[in-house]
Amino acid sequence: MTERKPPDVGFESWIDRQIREAADRGEFDNLPGAGKPIPGQGRPDDELWWVREYVRREGLPSDALLPASLRLRKEVESLPETVGGLRTEQAVREVVHQLNRRILDWLRMPSGPQVHLLPVDVDGVVAKWRAAREAAADRRQSRGGR
């Protein structure tokens, strides 16, 4: 623990003395990043630099920064790709059901930008999923028949 500042010493000189004494004791030697350039130095000032750095460092998708309404809208738009790789109709229905549950939760207590967002038609998604699977099977069969 550091000592208390004597009443007759100014803050600046007291702090400067503590830093100099710590440096003399070697307390700043071998710190992580010593001798390396400061990250972001030379870039324009950005008050949200720490958010961008956190997202990059943690490997989060940039969608994580979007408000709930826009995130849900993007999920609805990418639903065909999301369910495209699923193997069973039950799995497709479950994914759509979970998305609809989150949409209904948002509709009950909307926050963020108000976007037109309604629950997704489960049967419609399943029908498109089936049609895409059948078309893929037909393409495989026609390539195999050549």
Residue 27 has pLDDT above 70, yes or no: yes
pLDDT > 70? residue 13: yes
Please tell me the predicted confidence (pLDDT) of residue 145.
54
pLDDT given at position 58 = 92
Instruction: Return the number of other C-beta atoms located less than 10 Å from residue 84's C-beta.
Output: 14
Give me 84's structure tokens: 């495209």
* Over residues 100-113, mean pLDDT: 94
Q: What per-residue confidence (pLDDT) applies to 2? A: 59
Q: Please give the Cα distance from 98 to 109 (Å, whole number).
A: 17
pLDDT of 49 reads 81
Q: Can you give the pTM of this predicted structure?
A: 0.62
Residues 6+ apart with CB under 8 A from 57: none
